[in-house]
Amino acid sequence: MKICPKCDNQNANTAAVCKSCGASLNDVPDLENAVVELEKKDRKPVLAFVFALLSFIFAASKELLPIDAEEPMVSHFILYFIACALSITCLVLAFLSLRGIFSKRPIPAIGLAAVLLSIVCVVLVGLDLLSLPATISDFRNLL
């Protein structure tokens, strides 16, 4: 179905002019194609939420590693650095997926959730980056 841009009347996909007002329908996309395009655009907030959630999981998982113990293991430090890198990577991918989210009206709820979760991840990653020099120093002392 093609929707007329002048009178909003529904027309057949093969129609060249509107059956109601006679306006040209050559530049009007099919309704089915427009729905498919809209669905493709709505995947970005979901993808951003998934990346933000992964970033949060990697950032939170570092707290489970016993790197502050009396006898930390080298493998714990390696896992810590890998989790930091994965958390930062997922956070960057989340922000790239959120590009243009505020230009949409209305903003999808999953997009707002992704933004809020990304803000929490920014704080966690920022705290990790601030403590990274001390962690690297502890790692060097262990070696």
Q: Residue 73 gets which letter from DSSP?
A: -
Distance from C-alpha of 82 to C-alpha of 88, rounded to nearest angstrom: 10
Return the beta strands (E) in 5-113 as ranges: 10-11
Which pLDDT tens digits describe the chain residue by residue (143 residues)? 777 877 878 888 788 888 888 888 777 655 555 555 545 555 678 888 888 899 888 888 877 877 666 777 788 888 888 888 888 888 888 888 877 766 666 777 787 788 888 888 888 888 877 877 777 787 777 77
Q: What is the dihedral of CA 22, 27, 31, 34, to 10 degrees?
A: -160
